[in-house]
Structures are given as C-alpha cells and as structure tokens.
Amino acid sequence: MIAVPLMDLRLQHSTLQPELGRAVGEVIDSAGFILGPQVGSIEREVSSLLGVRHGIGVASGTDALVLALRALGIGSGDEVIVPAFTFFATASAVMLVGASPILVDVTPDTYCIDVEQVAARMTERTRAVIPVHLFGHPADMDPLMEVTASRRVAIIEDNAQAIGAEYRGRATGGIGDVGCLSFYPTKNLGAGGDAGMVLTNDAEIASMVQMLRTHGWKEKYFPELLGQNSRLDALQAAILRVKLPHLRDWNERRRDLANRYQTGLRDLPLKMQSERPDVRSVYHLFVVQVSERERLAAALAAEGVETAIYYPFALHEVPAWPRGIHSDLPVAEQLARECLAIPLYPEMTNEQQDYVIDVIRRVLH
C-alpha cells in the first residue's frame, strides 16, 4: 500500500523552509505588519504576471469578491448571475452586499458557467455576472463578454482556483472588468493564512477597492465612503513572494499529472472535466465524475488514497440559500452527487499517481 494524500502542503514548504523563515523573520524585524512594501511588491508582481494594470491585496478571496461588487456600486435591488456549482463564497459575496444572486447551470463538459443560460436570465436589474474558473479550468469568456457588452453588465472573474490559467492566450483574472484571487493556503498559490487580491485594468475601480479595504479613506481618518477593514498583511505577502517564482513550474507539473490521469483513466466508466483546446487549465483539483462515488471513495480510502468531494451540494441545496429563488439546475445537481476529487499536487510522484490509477482501474473494471 502507498499512502497518497489529496494534497500535501508540508512537502512544498519543506523545500522552501529556509527562505520562508527568512522572509517571515524580516517582516517581524521590521515590525510593519499591515500593507507596506511587501504588500506593494506582491501586488505588482502578481498583477504584472497576469498582465493586469492594478492588483489590490485584500484579506481573502471572499473579500475580493465583496469589494469588487462594492466598487462597482452593486447592492440592494441588483441582480448578479452566478453558476450553481461553485464554492459558496461566489454567491455569498453577492448576498453580503445586499444584491440577489441569480443561479444558472454549468456545462456538463467544463463544469463552468453555461453562457446561453446567462443570456436567458439577464433582466433590467442584472448588474454583473461572476464566471468561476472552476478547478482551474477557464470559463468561456468571449461569448460571455458578447452577451454582456451591449447591456452594461460587468464581468467579475472568480479566479480563486485558476491563477496562471489561460483562455485563448490571455491570463484568467485579467479578462473581465475585475478579477478576484484567493491565496487560501491550499490554492495553487497559497499564503500562510487568509489572503486575496482584486485585479483590474480600471483605475477608478482600483482606487475604490483601495479605499474600501481601508475604512473608505485615502487620507487617514477622513473616510469618504463607508469602507471596511480588509487588508493584505505583510507576513502573507512575504510568504507569497517566496512562493510566486515557483508557480509556473507547479502549474506545469499539475498539468502533467492531469494529463497522466486523463490517459490512465480514459476507458473507464467515469467522466472527467474536459479541457477545451483553446484554454490552459491549471488543475487546482482533479475531479472525476462517477455514479458509484461512495463505493469508489471507500475503496480508495481502504487502499490509502485520500479523496474529497468538491462540492457535495449545489448552491441552492444548502440551508443558507434564500428559499425559492432558483430554476432548474440539473447539471449542478448531478455534479454534486457524482464529483470526487482525487489526489493531485505538484509534489506528487509518478509512482504515487500510477498507484492511484491502478486502484481506480481495479475498482471500476
């Protein structure tokens, strides 16, 4: 038996330990913990890597979505279209600013937002759409932008799972009006705690987010609007700066591993998220779709292979969802019943992966 965890951050950190220790030590020595030069540097490094003019470091990916919505002036009475199969924060951000999330289904091949349904669900009150680049796979941005362009509907990309992904040669997160990143520790680029970033090419939106993350002021103690406290801190920025130079290689390795899974599992009775030819997914997670999910998960666990369900519920199936507001969402519901994430992380060895493939083949054949 070979033990294979779903992911293993400790392996990643063990090789970076001396650098991480030094970076954290320097912040402590400087005694400057909130914003400051480390935050300015990571904002410039991430935004330039993704080809976006402005990056504003914030406290989490969820706050990045909230601040993006607030900067666009979206609130009570407004509607925002979101996919029904995603992490709950995509929609809770909409509700937190007082707007109504309108769910549309995802496509059965990419698990990303179904653009035709977006067009069908747009109303006079629609102010924005939040496509999610789910599991690292880019949503279909060009048709989405065509649908929204004539109606002054903004696009906020939820890029929490897809830093480094590309859609038709463009980095995700920099294609719509605003992009939101999460640096939650297990994301492809993870901090040592909660952290996030708002990306935009629009100077006005950038300046609004900058004010909103610090009490609504530009000038200290002189709030010009109702802001909040949602800043990226220097320790997180310092940790991210140690990791950022490795992101490209890590994503490349994720793609290699995904490719090996796609080949190794090809002829089995399961489905996989299929990568479109015009995108470059960064495989935040490798998710398979099986009708006998519980049996497969149990068999893998018995052989030492860890799995997890992302996500066990579609958005409208949880208690926090407002009663009554959704239409038919069959693909999202089926994914919630059948999805299973199997181990994939850059430090995973080919030997571990071959073992996982072998166990799955034995169970499903």
Ligand X SMILES: *Cc1c(COP(=O)(O)O)cnc(C)c1O
Using the contact rule CB under 6 A, the part of the chain among 48-56, 86-94, 107-115, 145-153 near ligand X is 86-94
The single residue among 105, 194, 233, 303 that binds ligand X, judged by CB under 6 A, is: 194
Is residue 60 involved in binding ligand X (CB under 6 A)? yes
Residue type, 243: K
- Residue 304 beta carbon to ligand X: minimum distance, rounded to whole angstroms: 27
Pairing of strands 126-129, 79-83: parallel
Closer CB to ligand X, 159 or 353, in the complex: 159
Residue with CB nearest ligand X?
Answer: 61
The single residue among 87, 283, 286, 345 that binds ligand X, judged by CB under 6 A, is: 87
The single residue among 38, 90, 126, 307 that binds ligand X, judged by CB under 6 A, is: 90
- Identify which of 170, 184, 171, 242 has the alpha carbon closest to the alpha carbon of residue 65: 184
- Residue 310 beta carbon to ligand X: minimum distance, rounded to whole angstroms: 9
Q: Alpha-carbon distance 160 to 165, whole Å?
A: 11
| Contact flags string 2-41 toward ligand X, x per CB under 6 A | ----------------------------------------
Is residue 352 involved in binding ligand X (CB under 6 A)? no
Is residue 89 involved in binding ligand X (CB under 6 A)? yes
Sign of CA dihedral 21, 26, 29, 32: negative
Q: Alpha-carbon distance 65 to 277, whole Å?
A: 29
Q: Alpha-carbon distance 203 to 217, whole Å?
A: 16
- Residue 184 beta carbon to ligand X: minimum distance, rounded to whole angstroms: 4
Is residue 196 involved in binding ligand X (CB under 6 A)? yes
- Identify which of 117, 125, 71 has the alpha carbon closest to the alpha carbon of residue 93: 71
β-partners of residue 339 are: 289
Is residue 184 involved in binding ligand X (CB under 6 A)? yes
Q: Alpha-carbon distance 99 to 80, whole Å?
A: 7
- Give the DSSP letter string of 98-149: TPEEEEE-B-TTT-SB-HHHHHHH--TTEEEE--B-GGGPPP-HHHHHHHHH
Give the chain's end-to-end CA distance (angstroms, integer).
20
Closer CB to ligand X, 167 or 184, in the complex: 184
Using the contact rule CB under 6 A, the part of the chain among 84-92, 112-120, 298-306, 339-347 near ligand X is 84-92
| Contact flags string 152-181 toward ligand X, x per CB under 6 A | ------x-xx--------------------
The footprint of ligand X on this chain (CB under 6 A) covers a number of residues equal to 15
Using the contact rule CB under 6 A, the part of the chain among 16-24, 81-89, 111-119, 355-363 near ligand X is 81-89
Q: Alpha-carbon distance 287 to 44, whole Å?
A: 32
The single residue among 38, 172, 182, 210 that binds ligand X, judged by CB under 6 A, is: 182
Which positions ≥6 away from 313 have C-beta within 8 Å? 336
Q: What is the DSSP letter of 229?
A: B
Closer CB to ligand X, 47 or 161, in the complex: 161
Burial readout 257-273 (b: 16 or more C-beta within 10 A, e: otherwise): bbebbeebbeebebbbb
Is residue 61 involved in binding ligand X (CB under 6 A)? yes
Using the contact rule CB under 6 A, the part of the chain among 83-91, 116-124, 209-217, 317-325 near ligand X is 83-91
Q: Which residue matches tokens 């040592």?
A: 192
- Residue 93 beta carbon to ligand X: minimum distance, rounded to whole angstroms: 8
| Contact flags string 125-144 toward ligand X, x per CB under 6 A | -------x------------
Closer CB to ligand X, 54 or 284, in the complex: 284
How far apart, in Å, are the Cα atoms of 313 and each of 130, 132, 213, 229? 19, 16, 31, 31
- Give the DSSP letter string of 170-209: EETTSSSSEEEEE--TTSSS--SS--EEEEES-HHHHHHH
Using the contact rule CB under 6 A, the part of the chain among 50-58, 59-67, 116-124, 234-242 near ligand X is 59-67
Q: Which positions lie near ligand X, rule CB under 6 A?
A: 60-62, 86-87, 89-90, 132, 158, 160-161, 182, 184, 194, 196
